[in-house]
Chain A
């Protein structure tokens, strides 16, 4: 059995993990408690306790004296209950399956004898941590803990999340240890039967926080998509500015649509629309035959076309954005004149097919 092996001090991996645990434990300022427990040597109580901790006991004392508390805080070891029984409970925290198994076996083994023994050893000590209350709870909790060791194993992802939360909260928790340890111990003891708990005081219950986290991640993913859609948004950091940029973009797009429809309203009367055929027809010959029926105003050479196209949209955009709605009608009137000038050009129909092909390719 592992316990026997542990008692013999041979389980090096176990000792290392337990050493880490104990180290972390006293790093959270339970040094007094541990010393008291360690130094109570007489009889079975102490020996059983030391047997539980087995080899690490003297090493724990060494670690107490070592100044490396910072490292210990950073180590992903279970936190903190001030009492021995809570220690035992904390051994059951799941950082690896082996530990869980060992912890389960420990608690089963120690459930009968050592609890009473430790109760005796603890009772004469000054109970600054309201240990009596917390002692009772772990007694009840331990069988539940052994049962919960299985679900502990089966929820690695949740554990990982809780482990991360632990690491984050650990530093916070350690700072208010001494004052709030009593409350925390009782709360930790209450939460011990449940999985992943390391939730600190003030932390929401897990289902809500997980759901909220999932929601937040969804929102962040969508914000990223929006940033990609909106040009020039990827450089900006900060949600509010990105949102402002998105809002501006949507507004500008809506205004462009209005503006273009205004332009179409002004332009179109001159021209007959048979462009459906342009898009429905796949073959080029079909398009050419349809074009013969179309009235197409003509036609600059292409270079000039492109130049004019670029000019007009810029002017139109600037005008539209600056003027109020009533001014739009004037703008429309001003558009008609350049269009008149364009339409007055009647070059040959060679460019007609070229132009419609061009439009098709562009679209």
Chain B
């Protein structure tokens, strides 16, 4: 197993987070609410560790971490902060793209919102941070997101299988 692969990085981080969660609150009752809370924490830990394990800079990782932080801080500010963050992302991206590619700015900034029909808007909802991207980058982010999700699912499945025995 490659020690520096995405899979191993994610697995290490996730297991550490799991140990922390279980160390913090050893389960006293297997009531549904307890389990639900724990589920929430574990899911958050999984997403967070996935976002941290990614080496290349991607928009969706920032969006995931932002959402998690804002959720932990306070749910009221979550929506506004994500909105502000998306606006900042748009600003950054347009500036970045203007520096790099002069010819395509008009087309790329015009693409936001003019997706390929219903599917693009659905995709934007699914992929974290997708609202603030043009169609071209959205496809890029989707590909990376799918790759990371598959590794996440594989690792978690193996861990769950391991511990369910």
Report which A residues bind B (CB closer than 8 A): 207, 211-212, 214-215, 218-219, 222-223, 225-226, 229-230, 239-240, 243-244, 246-247, 249-251, 253-254, 256-258, 260-271, 273-276, 279-280, 282, 297-300, 305, 308-309, 312-313, 328-330, 332-333, 335-336, 339, 342, 355, 359-363
B8 at interface, CB cutoff 8 A: yes
**17 more A-B residue pairs beyond the given contacts A257-B152, A265-B36, A282-B3, with a C-beta to C-beta distance below 8 A:** A219-B135, A244-B119, A246-B123, A250-B123, A250-B146, A253-B149, A256-B157, A257-B149, A260-B153, A265-B39, A265-B41, A266-B39, A269-B22, A279-B11, A312-B161, A329-B36, A362-B158
Q: Please tell me if B71 contacts chain A, counting CB pairs below 8 Å.
A: no
Q: Which residue of B119, B146, B158 is within 8 Å of A240 (Cβ)?
A: B119
Between A and B, 23 residue pairs with Cβ closer than 8 Å are A215-B108, A222-B136, A223-B139, A226-B143, A230-B146, A247-B122, A249-B146, A250-B123, A250-B127, A251-B126, A256-B157, A257-B43, A258-B43, A262-B43, A263-B164, A268-B22, A273-B18, A279-B15, A298-B165, A332-B35, A355-B165, A359-B162, A363-B7
User: Are B42 and A261 in contact, CB atoms less than 8 angstroms apart?
Assistant: yes
User: Of B30, B142, B160, which contacts A269 at CB under 8 A?
Assistant: B30
- A362 and B30 CA atoms in complex are apart in Å by 30
Chain A residues with Cβ below 8 Å from B74 are none
List 5 A-B pairs, minimum CB-CB distance, nearest first.
A329-B32, A269-B27, A243-B119, A265-B39, A265-B38
CA distance A271 to B120 in the complex (A): 43
Chain A interface secondary structure, helix, strand, loop or mixed?
Answer: helix
Whether A253 lies near B146 (C-beta < 8 A) is yes
| Contacts A215-B107, A254-B126, A260-B157 given; does A246 touch B165 at CB 8 Å | no
Number of interface residues of B (CB under 8 A): 60
Q: How far is the CA of A351 from the CA of B35 in the complex (A)?
A: 30
* Contact indicator A264/B156 (Cβ below 8 Å): yes
Q: Give which listed residue, B35, B47, B104, B143, contacts A329 with CB less than 8 A.
A: B35
Is B155 part of the binding interface, using a Cβ–Cβ cutoff of 8 Å? Answer: yes
